[in-house]
Amino acid sequence: MKKTLSIIITVIIAVAAITACGSSDKTAESTTGSSDNQLYVYNWGEYIDPEVITMFEEETGINVVYDEYETNEIMYPKVAAGASRYDCICPSDYMIRKMIQNDLLQPLDWSRLPNATANIGKTYMEQSETFDPGNKYSIPYCWGTVGILYNTTMVDEPVDSWNILWDPKYKDNILMQDSVRDAFMIPLIMNGDSVNTTDPDELNDALLKLEEQKPLVQAYVIDEVRDKMISGESALGVIFSGEALYTAEENENLDYAIPKEGTNVWIDSWVIPKNAEHVDNAYTFLNYLARAEIAKMNFDYIYYPTPNTAAWELLDDDMKYNPIAFPDLTQYDNLQTYTYLGEDMDKTYDNLWIKLKSY
Amino acid sequence: MIRTKKIRNLFATPYLSWAIIFIIVPLVMVIWYGFTDSDGALTFANIASIARPEFMKSLGLSLLLSLISTVLCLIIAYPLCMILTEKKAGKAGVVILLFILPMWMNTLLRTMAWQTILEKTGILNIFLNFIHLPSIYIINKPQAIIIGMVYNFLPYMVLPLYTALSRIDDNVINAARDLGANKFQTFLHVTLPLSIPGIISGITMVFIPALTTFVLSQMLGGNKILLIGNIIEQEFTQAYDWHLGSGLSIILMVFIIINMVVEAAFDKSDEQ
């Protein structure tokens, strides 16, 4: 009797706890549709002016729950597993392709995004078509290049080539990106290969090159690159162009170069996942972000080049024609954009990554 | 009688349900994922993948680093605890408190502090340069991870050791001295054997978290040094391969179980 009783109680508590977990999960991500006036945003770290969110909340009364990730690869499993339901996410080009292919996104109704339709530059929409044909799923948010940030007091020679990252002189003074596609992009470009190669030999050559470089590398980091460069902890760092403007402001000895061999040009765009609960709020938010003054506010804070031409018009001439913020891409001939390579290649890349890290 | 038992069972249910939901169920899931492939078919491939050279290397490095950290913790903690047991209760309490105090702070914060200390332009090097010594560079190297491990896990060695040592009856030691043993002999034949239970549980409590850590190696290793914990973390968060991640976790569990069996064996011999 007592045994059955305790078992029954245990089961009841267990079930209650599990359902409670389930429902609290949902309150965290909300079940009741848009009536509860929430918006779950999942964005890159340091990728929005927090003031913009506050202003949006004040204007619309929508409560924004804001989460951040460091790489596309960290973001994807969370969204794919459906464990957390976000209403808008801001992945990069190749990851958007992957999400489209795996049916995780919903097509956009552009008539509900008048600001975006009017303000986003045509060239950027065209460039988006490489990963989102017909611009069905994504609204460009930021774009940029990948290059080398260097400290002019620690590097005497001109920086114009990726080769400097293999110079033994700078041992323990090199920061690499801790993200597999960005790390492999560099040797692939140096070898004259496509950054989207699936050829095992080309990838293996790239791996060998990175293994050769590893003893010289101080650390593989992402967001820390800027802090470490600002504090003078490292002489050279691979970084996205947006960070370069910010760091140059904090430490005047820092300069940014796009290597002559070419590099990756990327676009990060907003998407609405298929399982979003607050679609209306997502549209309101994305349309709000595309307002010229809001996009300019964001640019002034995060310094990542905006594809919002109306916002660009509002900038000072200094900034408008700043070669780091808005480089004239026509002068570089080997600019490549990542595409999604399929699940098998994901695995190959993961294995290459582990091989490099344990080398 | 029945009534009290009933009540006892009632009080046991909170923990019992806790254990089922957060220990048993996840464990079953890990084993389930570990022995199946993505189609749900039974496979040993996830377990066997530990034979891959890069995984073996990480496992070996994890074992080596946690072994070194455990030995260092023991070497630091043992003399300290010996001194403490000889002190008066009040004084010893203060020193023990000083050891436990950092544990109230978040591990991540403490590890970040070590980052700032060990960096090239960090506090340690500023100090070394100030007294005209050459700077040292150990951040992002295995040495930094060992420092992090020793610092974070030392209290887990001190506490069981101190308990074991302070439980030794003074009369036993006095008897040994009375019967002609010198200080060293007393230590070797009386104090050391009596403190073995403390040593064993201290080793377990340091070795297991050191073996499974991935945060320390990430933060102090600059993402350059891959321990087995990092590989498992990567399989779950980035590669999205829960089967492989679980398979490797099972391998790690084997080491933990071996450790616990050894501890249990010592406990038993101690009782006899």
Cβ contacts of B54 on chain A, cutoff 8 Å: 354-355, 358-359
pLDDT of residue A324: 85
Q: Give mean pLDDT, residues A288-314.
A: 93
Tell whether the model's pLDDT for residue B182 goes beyond 80.
Answer: yes
Tell whether the model's pLDDT for residue B121 goes beyond 90.
Answer: no
Q: How does residue A245 score in pLDDT terms, banded at 50, 70 and 90?
A: confident
* Pairwise pLDDT comparison (B9 vs A175), residue with the higher score: A175
Same domain flag for A134 and A261: no
Of A2, A73, A218, Cβ closest to residue B2: A2
Same domain flag for A97 and A179: no
Tell whether the model's pLDDT for residue B206 goes beyond 90.
Answer: yes
Tell whether the model's pLDDT for residue A5 goes beyond 80.
Answer: no
Q: Give mean pLDDT, residues A89-95.
A: 94
Q: Give mean pLDDT, residues A81-107.
A: 91
By the CB < 8 Å criterion, does B238 face chain A? yes
Domain containing B262 — which CATH number?
Answer: 1.10.3720.10
Same domain flag for A347 and A250: yes
Q: Which domain holds residue A150?
A: 144-265+331-357
Q: Is residue B44 part of a domain?
A: no
By the CB < 8 Å criterion, does B116 face chain A? no
Q: What are the pLDDT digits (tens) for B130-144?
A: 999 988 889 999 999
Q: Is residue A325 part of a domain?
A: no
Cβ contacts of B14 on chain A, cutoff 8 Å: 13
* Pairwise pLDDT comparison (A15 vs B41), residue with the higher score: B41
Give the total number of structural domains in chain A.
Answer: 3
Q: Is residue B24 part of a domain?
A: no
Tell whether the model's pLDDT for residue B44 goes beyond 60.
Answer: yes
By C-alpha distance, the chain A residue nearest B6 is: A2
Give the total number of structural domains in chain B.
Answer: 1
pLDDT of residue B84: 87
Domain containing A227 — which CATH number?
Answer: 3.40.190.10
Which among B1, B2, B10, B17 is the top mutation candidate for probing chain A, defined by the most A β-carbons within 10 Å of its own β-carbon? B17
Tell whether the model's pLDDT for residue A28 goes beyond 70.
Answer: no
Cβ contacts of B138 on chain A, cutoff 8 Å: none
Q: Could you give the ipTM of this predicted complex?
A: 0.84
Same domain flag for A65 and A13: no
CB contact under 8 A, B237 and A18: no
Q: Is residue A326 part of a domain?
A: no
Element (H, E) at B95: helix B89-100
Q: Is residue B91 part of a domain?
A: yes
Q: Give mean pLDDT, residues B84-101.
A: 81
Q: Is residue A82 part of a domain?
A: yes
CB contact under 8 A, B222 and A76: no
Tell whether the model's pLDDT for residue A9 goes beyond 60.
Answer: no
By the CB < 8 Å criterion, does B187 face chain A? no
Q: Is residue B8 part of a domain?
A: no
Same domain flag for A205 and A339: yes
* Pairwise pLDDT comparison (A7 vs B84), residue with the higher score: B84
* Pairwise pLDDT comparison (A273 vs A331), residue with the higher score: A273
Same domain flag for A96 and A220: no
Same domain flag for A280 and A310: yes
Q: Is residue A289 part of a domain?
A: yes
| Reported pTM | 0.82
Q: Is residue A202 part of a domain?
A: yes
Q: How does residue A20 score in pLDDT terms, banded at 50, 70 and 90?
A: very low
By the CB < 8 Å criterion, does B111 face chain A? no
Q: Which domain holds residue B189?
A: 53-271
